[in-house]
Structure 1
Amino acid sequence: MKTIEWKDWEIFCRVVEGAGFTKGAELADVPKSSASAAVSRLEMQLGVRLFERTTRRVRVTERGQQLYDRVAPLFTELREISAEAVSVSTEVAGTLRIATPYEVGSLHLSPSLTRLLRLHPALRVEVDVTWDQPDLVERGYDLVFVMTNTGLHDSSFASKRVVLIDRGFFASPALIRARGLPRTPQDLANWPMLGNAEDRRWEFLRDGTEVASLAVEPRMRTQNAEIRLKAALDGLGVARLSPRYVQDELDQGRLVRVLPGYTSSPLKVYVLMPARKLMPASVRAFLDVLEETLGSADTRLVAARG
């Protein structure tokens, strides 16, 4: 019996997952020509066609799909076994890859990352800034932080809610002079507003209980809180932001909190990670440091599933 080339099988799985040789080769981290050659060898060995190829597309055959459905879970299990074996090591080393929204990284993760790197000199960290929820496996991230008004989208990854970010309402002194100081949430109805992409209404809470809400049509929508902050400083509208994020502007009198007796619904920040029985030592070390750091600040940690 011929030697089984397991790498060819793995590349075959990646081509199925990538719906083509270009993406499959990228996922397998091999040249496209190597991916094509691996699939051809496998087809010759098995005596079956695994893909229908045309000049415009590649489609897995029925037999190819059947083989993928049986083989792919085995490679997933092998990767988990490998990750578990690596996690046994007590040394925290290698590279930890993280994706996070800017505000979460700058305000909440920076102290934890500083502490982590001081504790583990052999560890390297790569942090990408994104407001989207990237695919952990496809992009090769160890941890992804997601900020949302509601809950997580359906996800097969393990998740933990790590931060609740309080929010209030802020405007420039010039805008308040022009519009008058609002006394109730309804007083903001005709104000220009600066919101994020999902803002359709703003909630007004007292002692954690919603007492009013206001339909909003922001004149500017952006996930980038820094852009909203600068627009608020320029008097372009009232913005819903984290008090902690705008504290310097409040201290300098460049921004005023309107309706200070109210808060708004908090943003929820989750951390996503591949579901493993045992996690790599670097991930475990960072989560431990994160919990210790955030637990001592004005944020709350709550275990959850996505």
Structure 2
Amino acid sequence: MKTIEWKDWEIFCRVVEAGTFTHGAELAEVPKSSASAAIARLEAQLGGRLFERNTRRVRVTEQGQRLYERVAPHFAALREISAEAASASEQVSGTLRIATPYEVGSQHLAPSLSRLLSLHPNLKVQIDVTWDQPDLLKHGYDLAFVMTNTTLHDSSFASKRVVLVERAFYAAPSLIQARGLPRSPSDLNGWPVIGNADDRRWEFVQDGAEVAVLPVDPRIRTHNAEIRLKAATDGLGVARLSPKFVDEQVRQGQLVRVLPAYASSPLKVYVLMPARKLMPAAVRALLDVMEHTVGAAAPARGVRRAGKAEAKGDTKGDIKADPKADPKADIRSDTKADIKA
């Protein structure tokens, strides 16, 4: 009986998931030439084409799709068993692959990673900066941090909320001098605005309740907070930013917090993970470290599925503004929220 080359089948599944031989080979951790050879062997063995190829992309055939749907769950189960075995050994090693927005990585993740790597010298970390919610399986991530003020996309991945990032409104002294000091949100009508890529309206919050909304049409739109910060300090517009992120510019007098009696809706930072019964040791170690560095709760045994559950609003763990506090005081920059299972 001919020996079955199971690695060829794994490579086949990875190419289907990635949509290209190049990315499929990366996920299977083999050279592209090895991936092409593996698919050729399978096609010869099965007597049919598994992919239609062109110069830029491959498309799985109907036969290939049927085979993938039967085979892929078995490899997923094997990977889960392997991850559980590694976790049980409590050996934190290998490479932890993470996707994160820039602001989350620089403000919240970097201190945790420094502590994690000092505790586990055999661990390596690869970080990709992205503002999109990635497909963890397709791109091979162990964890992805997502920052949103609405809801998560529907997903089969497990999710935990780890941080709330408060936001407020800032402008350069030169812009305030030219426009006048605003006394209410409506006074910002007609001001030039520096916004996030998806900003269409700004919410104004007092004592945890939304009290006003301002439609905005930013003259600069970007997910990159560094660019928004630079544009604001140059007097190009009023910006909505994290107080922690702009602390240095405020202390140096480059920016002024406008409408200090108001905050804005906070950004929720979630961590997404492939749904597994038992977390890999490196993932659990990072979440444990984050408990100490950013105040997130320790990883729970159960995890919430990202998606429709989020549409109902995940607010029970959100920190509300203290009605006894001075309304003119700066809102705390990153209130910590318990992770809810």
Q: Give the structure-1-normalised TM-score.
A: 0.91
Instruction: Give the CA deviation at 1:142.
Output: 1.7
Distance 1:294 1:200 in 2: 30
C-alpha distance in structure 1 between counterparts of 2:248 and 2:175, whole Å: 19
What are the equivalent positions in structure 2 for 1:134-149 lying under 5 Å apart?
134-149=134-149
Structure 2 CA distance for aligned equivalents of residues 162 and 246 of structure 1: 21
Identical-residue share of aligned pairs (%): 71
C-alpha distance in 2 between matches for 1:53 and 1:198: 37
In the alignment, which residue of structure 2 is the partner of 1:39? 39
Over residues 23-61 of structure 1, what are the superposed CA-to-partner deviations in whole Å (9 max), with x where a residue is unaligned? 443433334443333233333333x31436465675434
Match in the other structure for 1:51: 50
Equivalent AA in structure 2 for residue 127 of structure 1? I
Residue 166 of structure 2 contacts residue 334 of structure 2 at CA under 8 Å; is this kept in 1?
A: no
Structure 1: distance between partners of 2:82 and 2:113: 26
Q: 5 Å matches for 1:219-234?
A: 219-234=219-234
1:119-268 aligned within 5 A: 119-268=119-268
Contact 2:51–2:64 (Cα < 8 Å) also in 1: no
Query: Which residue identity is paired with 1:205?
Result: V
Rounded to whole Å, the distance in 2 between the matches of 1:124 and 1:31 is 21
- Point out where structure 2 has 5 or more consecutive residues left out of the alignment: 297-332
Counterparts of residues 8-27 of structure 1 (less than 5 Å) = 8-27=8-27
- CA deviation string 1:281-303 (max 9, x = no partner): 11101101102222289522333
User: How big is the alpha-carbon RMSD for the aligned residues of Structure 1 and Structure 2?
Assistant: 2.2
- Following the alignment from structure 1 to structure 2, what is the Cα–Cα distance between the partners of residues 54 and 275? 32
The aligned counterpart of 2:100 is: 100
Deviation at 1:138, TM superposition (A): 3.0
Equivalenced residue count is 304
How has the CA–CA distance of structure 1 residues 133 and 188 changed in structure 2, closer, same or farther, with 3 Å as cutoff? same
Report SS of the residue matched to 2:89.
coil
Pair 1:200–1:44, CA change in 2 (3 A): same
Deviation readout 1:247-294 (Å, 9 max, x if unpaired): 111112211110000000001111111211111111101101102222
Deviating more after overlay: 110-119 vs 145-154: 110-119
For residues 126 and 62 of structure 1, the distance between their equivalents in structure 2, rounded to whole angstroms, comes to 35
Deviates more, 1:102-111 or 1:30-39: 30-39
Contact residue 19 and residue 59 of structure 2 kept, 8 A: yes
- 1:198–1:10 Cα change, 3 Å: same
Mapped to 2, the partners of 1:224 and 1:139 lie a distance apart of 22
Question: Which residue in 1 is equivalent to 2:272?
Answer: 272
Corresponding letter in the other structure for 2:205: L
Structure 2 residue 337 is the aligned partner of structure 1 residue 301: yes
For normalisation by structure 2, the TM-score amounts to: 0.82
Change (3 A) 1:280 1:230: same
Query: How has the CA–CA distance of structure 1 residues 38 and 102 changed in structure 2, closer, same or farther, with 3 Å as cutoff?
Result: closer
Q: Name the CA distance, whole Å, in 1 between partners of 2:137 and 2:274.
A: 8
Contact kept, 8 Å, 1:294 with 1:301, in 2: the verdict is: no
1:270 maps to a residue whose letter is Y
Q: Counterpart of 1:275 in 2: which secondary structure?
A: coil
Specify whether residues 53 and 206 from structure 1 end up closer, same or farther in structure 2 by C-alpha distance, changes over 3 A only.
Answer: closer
Distance 1:114 1:18, change over 3 A: closer
For the residue of structure 2 that corresponds to 1:88, the secondary structure is helix
Is the Cα–Cα contact under 8 Å of residues 18 and 138 in structure 2 kept in the other structure? no
Contact 1:164 1:269 in 2 (8 A): yes
What is the one-letter code of the residue matched to 1:140? G
Q: Which runs of 5+ in 1 are unaligned?
A: none
Distance in 2 (alpha carbons) for counterparts of 1:131 and 1:235: 26
User: Is 147-156 or 161-170 further displaced after alignment?
Assistant: 147-156
Query: Offset of 1:15 from its aligned partner?
Result: 3.1
